[in-house]
Structure 1
Amino acid sequence: MSQVLTQSNLIFILKGLGLTLYISFFAIVLSTIFGTILAVMRNSHNRLLKILASIYIEFVRNVPNLLWIFIIFLVFQMKSVPAGITAFTVFTSAALAEIIRGGLNAVDHGQTEAGLAQGFTNYQIFIYIVFPQAFRKMLPAIISQFVTVIKDTSLLYSVIAIQELFGKSQILMGRYFEASQVFTLYGIVAGLYFVINFAISMFSRHLAKRWAQAAE
C-alpha cells in the first residue's frame, strides 16, 4: 500500500483529476447554453425550429455517448481534449434540453399573461419571469446531469486516450500487481469521484432548501 501512496503517484492522479474537472466544466457550461437554446427552439411556435430541435434531441439522446466520442474524434479529426469536450457537449445538450423544456413548461402560463399585461416583451418575460422560476424546478435534474458528465469522463481514456482521472489510474495500474495495491489505487480514484460528486449534490440540496424556505 505504501508503494502506491507516494507523493509522485498522488500528484500524477491529481493532474488527471484536474483534467477531468477541466473537461467537465467546459462541457457543462457549453451544454447548458446549447441545451437552453434547444429547449426554447422546441417550445417555439416556429414549426421549422421546433422540428430541427426535436430531430437533434431525439437522435442524439438515442445514440450512446461513447459513439459520439468516436465520431467527433475520428470524423472531425480533432485533438483529444477538444474532441472530448465537444462530444460531451453534443450529447449532454440534448439531455439538458429536455430537462430545461420540462422546467419551462412547468411554469404556469398565467405568469406569461401577467408579464404581457405589465407591458413586458416576450424576451423580458422569459429572462425575468419564466426562466428564474423554471430554473428552481429543474435544478436537481440539471445537477444530476452534471454529476453524470463528471463520471462519464472516465470513458475518454479507453476511447481516445485522454489521461483524465481514470486514465491516470489505469497507467499506474500497470506498475502494480498485488491485490492490496490495486484496491488502494482504485479506492483513491473512487474516493475522489465520490467527494466531488457528493459535494455538488449537497450544494444542490442546500440551494433547493434555501429557495424553498424563501418561497414560504
Structure 2
Amino acid sequence: MDTFMNSLSIFKNHAIWIYLLKGIAFTLVVSIIAVVIGILLGSVLALVRNYCYAPKGHFIKRILTTVLRWIATIYIEVFRNTPLLLWIFICLVFCPYPSIFQHKMFGLSSAEIKLLFKGTVALVLFTSSVIAEIIRGGLNSVAEGQIEAGKSQGFHMVQIMIYIVLPQAFRNIIPTLLSQVITTIKDSSYLANVAVIEFMARVKKLLSTSYNYNGTGTINVSDVFVLFGFAALVYFIINFSLSCVVRRMRKA
C-alpha cells in the first residue's frame, strides 16, 4: 500500500501535470488534423471511386476517369489493409518535411517537430483511406433517384453532390464516422513508438524517470499501473465525452 501511495505522489508535482497536459494537447491536435484532412481527402476519394465515370463515346475522358478511379481504389485498399504502425515507420524514413519544421516550435525541438509532422502525415494517410470507405458506404445509401431529381432541377453533378447527396450521406454515417474519430484518437498513441512527444509518449517517458518523483529511488510496478491507468482514464474521458456530445447533437 505504501508503494502505491508513493506512485500516486508522482501527481503531486505541478510540473508533471503541465507536462502531461501538453501531451494531451498534442494528441488532440494531431487527431483533429488527421480527422479533418481525412474527411476532406476521404470525401474526394469516395466520390472519385463511386462516380468517376465518363459517358460512352468519350474515349479520352473514359481513360482519365478510369485512371482516377483506379488511383483512388489502390490508395484506399493499400492504406486501409496495412498496419498504421508500418506507415508511421515508412513516413519516418521517407517522408520529406517543410523547412519551417527545422526550427523550434511550441516548446519542442526541431527534431521533435519533424517527428510529429511525419507521424501526423502517416496518421492522415491511414485515416483518410478508412474514412473514404465509410463515406462511400454513405453515398451508396442515398437513392439514385436523388441524383436524377437533381438533374431534373437543372443542377450539374458537382451541385448535386454538394447540396443533395453528401448531406444525406454524412447524416447516415454519423455513428460510423464517430467510431472512426474515436479510433483515430486512440491510434495516435502509436506515435509514441517513434518518440513523438504526444500524450502516450510522455507517459512512457515519465515512467522511465518515475524514480525521481515517487520518493523511493526506483521504478515500482505500481508506477506502471498508476501511470498507464491514468492514460487509460484520459483516453476514456475524451472519447466518452465525444460520444455523449454527438449523441446529444443527433437528438437535438
State the TM-score, normalizing by the size of structure 2: 0.79
Residues 1-12 of structure 1: matches in 2 within 5 Å?
A: 1-6=7-12, 7-12=14-19
Q: Distance in 2 between matches of 1:59 and 1:187?
A: 34
* Moved beyond 4 Å, runs of 4+: none
Contact 1:31/1:89 (8 A) holds in 2:
yes
Q: CA deviation at 1:182?
A: 2.8
User: What runs of 5+ residues in structure 1 fail to find an aligned partner?
Assistant: 211-216
For 2:208, which of 174, 196, 199 is the aligned residue? 174
- Structure with the greater alpha carbon radius of gyration: 2
For 1:89, which of 113, 121, 124 is the aligned residue? 124
Q: Distance in 2 between matches of 1:37 and 1:83?
A: 23
Contact 1:136/1:208 (8 A) holds in 2:
no
**What letter matches 2:41 in structure 1?**
F
**What letter matches 1:9 in structure 2?**
I
- 2:177 counterpart residue number: 142
Contact 1:69/1:83 (8 A) holds in 2:
yes
Q: CA deviation at 1:53?
A: 0.8
User: What runs of 5+ residues in structure 2 fail to find an aligned partner?
Assistant: 1-6, 54-64, 98-113, 211-218
- 1:112 counterpart residue number: 147
Q: CA deviation at 1:127?
A: 0.7
Contact 1:4/1:184 (8 A) holds in 2:
no
Number of aligned pairs? 209
For 1:66, which of 85, 91, 109 is the aligned residue? 85
**What letter matches 1:171 in structure 2?**
K
Task: Report SS of the residue matched to 1:5.
Answer: helix
State the TM-score, normalizing by the size of structure 1: 0.92
Q: What is the identity percentage for the equivalent residue pairs of Structure 1 and Structure 2? A: 43
**Alpha-carbon deviations, 1:154-201, whole Å to 9, x = none?**
11121x200111111111112332333332222221111111111111
Task: Report SS of the residue matched to 1:30.
Answer: helix
